[in-house]
């Protein structure tokens, strides 16, 4: 099990990006023991990225940078 900082390092994201993904339900949250499962979070993140790429998942307007690219 990992904390948010360890998950951010594992996914090559910032702590803030991980917090947003957890809050939006994109990444699974911990279940009682206080840790995040790296394997489950990695799989969920890959599925999210694939969804963005295929157009099945739409990024929120605030999630795009000035060039219209997802900052994640």
Write down the residue that tokens 């060039």 correspond to. Answer: 67
What is the average pLDDT value for the chain, to the nearest integer? 83
Give 11-71 as a DSSP string: HT--HHHHHHHHHTTSSPPP-SSS-B-HHHHHHHHHHHHHHHHHTSSPPPGGGS-TTS---
The string of pLDDT tens digits covering residues 31-48 is: 767 789 999 999 999 999
The string of pLDDT tens digits covering residues 9-23 is: 999 999 999 999 999
Entry pTM: 0.74
pLDDT of residue 61: 43
Please indicate whether residue 9 or residue 71 has the higher confidence score (pLDDT): 9
């Amino acid at each position: 099990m990992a904390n948010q900082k360890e998950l951010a390092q594992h996914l090559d994201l910032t702590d803030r990006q991980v917090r947003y993904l957890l809050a939006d339900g994109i990444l699974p949250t911990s279940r009682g023991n206080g840790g995040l499962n790296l394997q489950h979070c990695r799989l969920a993140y890959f599925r999210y990225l694939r969804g963005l790429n295929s157009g099945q998942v739409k990024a929120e307007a605030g999630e795009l940078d000035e060039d219209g690219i997802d900052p994640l």
